[in-house]
Amino acid sequence: MKKLIVATFLSIVLVLSFAVTAPAKEIKIGVLLPLSGPLAPTGKSLKEGADLAADIINGKYPDLKISIAQWEGIPSLGGAKIKLVYADHRADAGWGADQAKRLIEDEKVTGLFGCYNSAVTKTASVEAERAAIPFVNPDSTSPALTKRGFTWFWRVTPHETWFTADLFNFLDGLAAGKARGVGPVGKEQINTLAVAVENTEWGAASLTEIEKFAAEHGYKIVEALKYPKEAADLTSEARRMMASKADCYLFAPYVADAILFIKTLKEMRATPKLIWGQDAGFIVPDFYKTLGAAVNGILTRDLFSPELGKAKPEAAKINEMYKKRTGFDFSGSSARDFVGIQVWAHALNSAGSTDPKAIQKALNELYISSDELIMPWKGVRFGSPFPGDTHQNELGSGVINQYQGWPDGKLHVIYPFEFSTANLIYPFPGWK
């Protein structure tokens, strides 16, 4: 009898100790996205990008020549599957922080991911910092986010400083005749700028960067306005842009306000020489789907173009998978969320543990090469590419694309000039 009791006790201890030490079968990552409200369409496409990456990591895709497609889970964690636990932050910074806390305390997630809106990323990442768990940000571009000295926050995407530098290098190149299919335009033709940005963290940061680079490159900002992204009407803002008689209109909008702004400018028959959008609202499928031919000639800074598939066959294959699921090509935003989950997987695999400190070390030392990525980047490695940055991917880069031939057209790469896939349409053709 005594032997039986001892054997039973030992069995229980053995089972329990196995349960404690055995690798987790599922690794929960809390994903914060705007899944309701005016940004819900964007949130949906980001979720689809993240879901596709998780499915590729958890399944087996021998045809894809990237490592996560061969893993069937996280190899160093016994094939543990990644489970994305979503929370809707409604594009509300306060609510986003509450949701981050809920994911950490109630859902016991291994780490956090998101949030797209820079303002929400700012507050939610504070919760991760307090709890000392990793927060990987794939898609928020306010430069301030990586200048806070946080030890649990890593950003994969390039930020506005890169993108704005790209814009002004593009304008300089256009003036000097470097743009494909367009002769030298002359700086005096594109010298004046009107800037409209939504009035949260991201828009304000975009405007600051534009002001800084405009001064450095010798361009004149003749109108600069911030507007609420939930505006019921943007007539007076559109009127201000037109009254400025600026050569170039520059925008940093989210999707609903981007659509409303372009519709209003079209109805008011605005005739700028160039329209450029700071990604976000200008690259969401709803933007080109709802505006149709009205998007032709509009430029947007971006991170992805289906045309890049010509140089990166794996990007083309993964884009096809995404398109099959959603009906749309990857946008720069959904592609970044795909890459962000990929970064999580590589970090977990390097860490070989779900211990936050091990993941922290893995992220700090992480290197993912360009051929693993669908983006036209040199890779992923966290460092300090601009003064004050910490844990910022220093191998990223952006592109400037142009809508051509819509409603059934393409988003062509225009800048960097050496990678352009079509002639630039210049000046902006206007709306009939």
Partner 1 sequence: MLLPFVIITDLRKMELAIELILFGILMGLIFAFISLGLALIFGVMNIVNFAHGEFLMVGMYVGLLTSTYLRLDPFLSLPIAAAMGFLLGIASYRLLIKDILRGPMVAQLFGTFGLMLFLRYLAMFIFGPDIRTVSSGILVGKSVSLGWVALDLSKVVAAGLCLGLFVVVYWIINRTKLGRALRATSLDAEAARYMGIDTEKMNALAWGIGGATVGIAGGLLAHFYYITPTVGMVFILIAFATVALGGFGSISGTFIAGLIIGLIQVIGGQYLSELKFTFIYLTYFLTVVFRPRGLFGW
Residues interacting with partner 1, by CB under 8 A?
35-38, 40-41, 43-44, 199, 225-228, 230-237, 239-240, 243, 255-256, 259-260, 263-264, 266-269, 286, 289-292
C-beta separation of 326 from 370 below 8 A: no
Indicate the residue type of 209: E
For partner 1, give the closer residue by CB, 331 or 350. Answer: 331
DSSP 8-state code for residue 309: G
Burial of 378 (0-12, 13-18, 19+ CB in 10 A): middle
List, as one string, the DSSP characters of 44-101: HHHHHHHHHHHHHHHS--TTS-STHHHHSSBGGGTTBEEEEEEEE-TT-HHHHHHHHH
Nearest distance from C-beta of residue 383 to partner 1, angstroms:
35
For partner 1, give the closer residue by CB, 264 or 393. Answer: 264
Nearest distance from C-beta of residue 61 to partner 1, angstroms:
27
Kindly report the CA angle at 160 between 155 and 166, in degrees rounded to 5? 120
Q: Which of 29, 44, 24 is nearest to 135 (CA)?
A: 29
DSSP 8-state code for residue 391: S
CA distance 432 to 427: 15
CA distance 251 to 230: 15
Nearest distance from C-beta of residue 347 to partner 1, angstroms:
30
For partner 1, give the closer residue by CB, 164 or 264. Answer: 264
CA distance 393 to 115: 17
Residue 387 makes CB contacts below 8 A (sequence gap 6+) with: none
Facing residues of 300 across strands?
A: 277, 401
For partner 1, give the closer residue by CB, 227 or 344. Answer: 227
For partner 1, give the closer residue by CB, 115 or 414. Answer: 115
Nearest distance from C-beta of residue 405 to partner 1, angstroms:
17
Q: Output the six-digit token pair for 194.
A: 């009107």
Nearest distance from C-beta of residue 34 to partner 1, angstroms:
10
CA distance 27 to 135: 14
38 upstream amide cis, omega within 30 of 0: no
For partner 1, give the closer residue by CB, 79 or 292. Answer: 292
**Phi-psi label, residue 379: left if phi above 0, alpha if psi -120 to 50, beta otherwise:** left
Sign of the Cα pseudo-torsion (305, 306, 307, 309, in order): positive
Nearest distance from C-beta of residue 314 to partner 1, angstroms:
29
Nearest distance from C-beta of residue 384 to partner 1, angstroms:
32
Cα 270 vs. chain centroid, distance in angstroms?
A: 30
For partner 1, give the closer residue by CB, 280 or 347. Answer: 280
For partner 1, give the closer residue by CB, 258 or 424. Answer: 258
For partner 1, give the closer residue by CB, 238 or 351. Answer: 238
Nearest distance from C-beta of residue 163 to partner 1, angstroms:
22
Nearest distance from C-beta of residue 96 to partner 1, angstroms:
17
